[in-house]
Structure 1
């Protein structure tokens, strides 16, 4: 697979999917739908592509907009598939477990899926109807994408969320959903990466994460679900308070600063020396939890959220210890901006595995 077409590529799940495809070195073409749909441009993007992943949809609007919008997007994609000489061999639809449940949204998703299925059959393409449950993950929109994002936002703001209706949720991290969409994981294995939790249970987990992280500690992220929840929470806290001041203990012998405490897991702490003028890094991680701390010298740490242009810079030095977390799917680097050897400490939640490094090269 070398070329994938995405609709909804600038949305929450689209951002996650693009990060997963980037790791694979796959070229991605974004096709707008709705009022921004351009038939000629869409035909050029779709013809010859290996896979079309249809993510675009409407779930928050009045009933008529939900119904007509979801069907329109599917019809536009079907029109493209039927009009190109070389359609993709695989069509993937990001459907919902609500499809066919009797609601306006569920019926709209069901009909949209059938429109795409019929088009795929006509062009001889494989059709994958992925029924997604409640998604959560980094940079979800509070009060829109999912209750997880809403809880994280409220907790980071220092307020206390409430549970209006407690029920069991089926939760799927957006990176796992992305792996299903792009074929990294077989659809029959979807249940193995889903988690079942009540709304109140989810809130308790996030409250514990919030409490631990505010103390300057990393929660036990040895369980994948907890790690994914923590990275989700961290995406919100990073935007609110990216710098984490540390206590410096000093006397005539020198100084000491505790970097981090962890409640468990298989964390790895490392350090590096960097000569003046040298730049390290230039990569991002999809799942890894990582923290930088300059112990000696002067450095500039740079971060850029994937698929955006804004670069954040943090000028740090060993005289005033400041820890900077590297959010998942933010490319990052560190440069020695001083005249002396730079000594930097790194912490990550897992042991480095050369067979699965989770380190994707990308300049900041």
Structure 2
């Protein structure tokens, strides 16, 4: 259990660092804002005695001169605060870039920033990160993946004007590497890359989006398939949900197609739930999980990790729909009817008790109704 202090905590990578620390039950990371960085005494107080200071804040957009000056200034401000800490932190970790020292204003400023932090004489880890992708990235800012996913989620099509090979790393893997979390969960601090051309990336995401349009699950044959799919789904939620299910009726009764998977592993299970009882109250970092109520009525509630707003979906077996739980959203299902609730669940992987990717947390303040652990 490590105590972290993080600059850039509100950005794409910083948010994922905080989510991972939260999942592991670590203390909430100390946030060092850009306003804090202007005051060495404030920085010194915040970093004193922590195990790791993660310098994630940076400037990668704007006029070249502003980008260069911004990255150097942020590092210099942090270094000044580190030198004034009454109890030095255990180490400093820099979220650097593989572009460091490449002759561009951005790359050269990142290399200079690394040198400034190394000069503090504290244990220093200079982590060269490639392009990052993942859930909740900003389109037209964080990565081509976020841009393509948002366009597809809104019914558009990505346009590729210049093709080149990308080396993509999922942002949770990068968060694990920076925080010093060993392998053993759904993350990999060795940063396994997806090497893919821009055009092939657009085609791959477009194929996923086309398959998922009616709720069918695309082929999820490797970990990057799963993470690209989760990234796409994060741009679909909540506007695209619930998704209606194909239903066929005849004299014998009704048939509902709940899960159609185009390849890859998976597990299906059902549960009954008594009136007023809650299931869930957890979130996942990578697992794809589907809820379909087949009999009775329920409410599915979700809250993004770190946020307070709760989204609610009333669902009923009289008109079955699917709701796929987005990763990094706490979720639960409550039987709101007077009779027994029958729910079908599907996950993209077999349950592994040693690596369940299930992180307990209530969606909202606990109620007096009984809560079932897990599903």
- Give TM-score, length-normalised by structure 2: 0.91
Contact kept in structure 2, 1:294 and 1:322, CA below 8 Å: yes
Output one character per residue of 1:221-275: Cα deviation in whole Å (capped at 9) or x when no partner. Answer: 1311111111111111224312111122234544221111111211011111111
Q: CA RMSD in A?
A: 1.7
Contact kept in structure 2, 1:292 and 1:347, CA below 8 Å: yes
Output one character per residue of 1:102-140: Cα deviation in whole Å (capped at 9) or x when no partner. Answer: 111111111111111111x1xxx3211111111111111
1:315 and 1:115 mapped to 2: Cα distance?
54
Residue 345 of structure 1 aligns with which residue? 344
Tell me the matched-pair count. 358
Contact kept in structure 1, 2:37 and 2:77, CA below 8 Å: no
Residue 227 of structure 1 aligns with which residue? 226
1:9 and 1:356 mapped to 2: Cα distance?
27
Pairing 1:136-155 to 2, within 5 Å after superposition:
136-155=133-152
Residue 97 of structure 1 aligns with which residue? 98
Q: Say if 1:224 and 1:138 are closer, same or farther in 2 by CA, change over 3 A.
A: same
Contact kept in structure 1, 2:97 and 2:130, CA below 8 Å: yes
Residue 324 of structure 2 aligns with which residue? 325
**CA displacement at 1:282 relative to structure 2:** 0.9
What secondary structure is seen at the aligned counterpart in 2 of 1:218?
coil
2:36 and 2:312 mapped to 1: Cα distance?
37
Q: Say if 1:192 and 1:58 are closer, same or farther in 2 by CA, change over 3 A.
A: closer
Contact kept in structure 2, 1:272 and 1:345, CA below 8 Å: yes
What secondary structure is seen at the aligned counterpart in 2 of 1:347?
strand
Residue 64 of structure 1 aligns with which residue? 65
Contact kept in structure 1, 2:47 and 2:85, CA below 8 Å: yes
Residue 17 of structure 1 aligns with which residue? 17
Residue 297 of structure 1 aligns with which residue? 296
Of stretches 262-271 and 94-103 in structure 1, the one that deviates more from structure 2 is: 262-271
Of stretches 213-222 and 325-334 in structure 1, the one that deviates more from structure 2 is: 213-222
**CA displacement at 1:7 relative to structure 2:** 0.9
Consecutive unaligned residues in structure 2, runs of 5 or more:
364-375
Residue 372 of structure 2 aligns with which residue? none
Pairing 1:180-329 to 2, within 5 Å after superposition:
180-185=177-182, 193-329=192-328
- Give TM-score, length-normalised by structure 1: 0.94
Contact kept in structure 1, 2:8 and 2:33, CA below 8 Å: yes
Contact kept in structure 2, 1:305 and 1:330, CA below 8 Å: yes
Residue 53 of structure 1 aligns with which residue? 54
Q: Say if 1:310 and 1:211 are closer, same or farther in 2 by CA, change over 3 A.
A: same
Structure with the higher fraction of residues in helix conformation: 1
Q: Say if 1:192 and 1:136 are closer, same or farther in 2 by CA, change over 3 A.
A: closer
Q: Say if 1:285 and 1:38 are closer, same or farther in 2 by CA, change over 3 A.
A: farther
**CA displacement at 1:40 relative to structure 2:** 4.5
